[in-house]
């Protein structure tokens, strides 16, 4: 019954695309939460899917089901509805997992799904290649956007479950030179290893089918939300993400078999001096951003900019 109804909603969301702006899943992609699980009980129901459609049509506020907003951009999109339908069909227990060797910024092992990312490397002898490190002239500001406490279905584990949404902004503090920045968000759980690669995380979460599709659908270049080209003194726009998400692991079963899981979001970025926008796109932003998306690790030869701040 749920399968038939869910498939009808998939068909309907296809026609909804003309009425609702299709915003592709961003860097953080599918969070550790089960997208569409409004009640946080480890399942996505037909009523929750219908609630999501109403949010997408602006007939209900986002607060009616915050977990539907997978990329935390303030909207529920067709992509997110489709992910929620997949959760309704396949269950929330099939969430991304990774090798136990994964760590936050380095030392992880990864298995590529498909496609090949560029392998950028600094070339100091070619000043036009935009490779001169600028990390010392980038200020990072993380601000709290929202703290949401949800009722827990397992009060014996935790009476409430908290989500902290933050924004990160980058400022070019150099007095005279432009800076290009490539950035991603990496999510790590205290109960299970998660893929460092945002693309691999999105693929395992059902948002994309391959690395190539991830590259095509996530905006690339310095003008994208996660690829920035800043004039001296300029501050970027807000880049929203969940710096903290509490849920129940493994997400299904009795309360006696579950534990409190905390997933934290961290920022990883690279910055170089680059006075020409086209050069920044050709030699830094797209290549470095793609490498970050595919590996979730610092690119060799570039100084990483990192922060795991999560203001209350």
Whole-number pLDDT of residue 101: 24
Whole-number pLDDT of residue 157: 94
Place of tokens 């969301």: 13
For residue 307, give both structure tokens: 């922060």
Place of tokens 């009640």: 39
Omega prior to 250 cis, within 30 of 0: yes
List pLDDT tens digits, range 67-81.
Answer: 888 766 677 887 788
In whole angstroms, what is the distance from residue 229 CA to residue 281 CA? 9
Burial track 105-125 (b if 16+ CB lie within 10 A, e otherwise): beebebeebeeebeebebeee
**Which strand (E) or helix (H) includes residue 168?**
strand 160-172
Residues 6+ apart with CB under 8 A from 125: none
Consecutive sets of 10 residues in the chain, 312 residues long: mean pLDDT of each? 45 32 28 70 83 81 81 74 79 46 23 34 53 95 89 92 90 96 92 90 80 78 80 89 90 87 94 91 87 92 94 91
Burial class (CB in 10 A: 0-12, 13-18, 19+), 277: middle
In whole angstroms, what is the distance from residue 96 CA to residue 261 CA? 14
List pLDDT tens digits, range 148-179.
Answer: 888 888 999 999 999 898 889 999 999 999 99
**Which strand (E) or helix (H) includes residue 16?**
helix 2-16
DSSP 171: E
List pLDDT tens digits, range 214-259.
Answer: 887 776 678 776 788 999 999 998 888 889 999 999 877 889 999 9
| 3-class SS of residue 302 | coil
């Amino acid at each position: 019954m749920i399968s038939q109804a869910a498939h009808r909603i998939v068909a309907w969301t296809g026609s909804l695309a003309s009425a609702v702006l299709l915003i592709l899943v961003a860097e953080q992609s599918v969070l550790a939460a089960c997208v569409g699980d409004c009640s946080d009980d480890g399942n996505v129901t037909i009523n929750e899917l219908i609630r999501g459609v109403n949010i997408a049509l602006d007939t209900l506020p986002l607060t009616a089901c915050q977990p539907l907003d997978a990329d935390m951009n303030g909207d529920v999109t067709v992509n997110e509805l489709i992910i929620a339908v997949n959760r309704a069909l396949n269950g929330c227990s099939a969430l991304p997992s990774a090798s136990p060797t994964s760590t936050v910024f380095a030392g992880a092992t990864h298995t590529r799904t498909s496609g090949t990312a560029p392998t950028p490397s600094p070339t100091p002898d070619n000043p036009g290649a935009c490779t001169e490190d600028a990390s010392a002239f980038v200020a990072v500001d993380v601000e709290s956007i929202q703290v949401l406490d949800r009722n827990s279905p397992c009060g014996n584990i935790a009476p409430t479950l908290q989500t902290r949404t933050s924004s990160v902004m980058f400022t070019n503090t150099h007095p005279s030179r432009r800076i290009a920045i490539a950035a991603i968000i990496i999510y790590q759980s205290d109960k299970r290893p998660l893929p460092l690669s945002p693309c691999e995380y999105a693929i395992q979460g059902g948002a994309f089918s391959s690395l190539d599709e991830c590259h095509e659908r996530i905006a690339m270049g310095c003008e994208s939300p996660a690829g920035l080209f800043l004039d001296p003194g300029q501050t970027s726009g807000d880049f929203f993400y969940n710096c903290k998400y509490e849920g129940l692991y493994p997400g299904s079963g009795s309360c006696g078999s579950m534990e409190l899981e905390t997933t934290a979001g961290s920022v990883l970025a690279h910055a170089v001096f680059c006075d020409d926008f086209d050069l920044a796109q050709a030699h830094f932003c797209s290549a470095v951003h793609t490498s970050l998306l595919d590996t979730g690790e610092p690119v060799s030869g570039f100084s990483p900019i990192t922060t795991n701040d999560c203001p209350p």
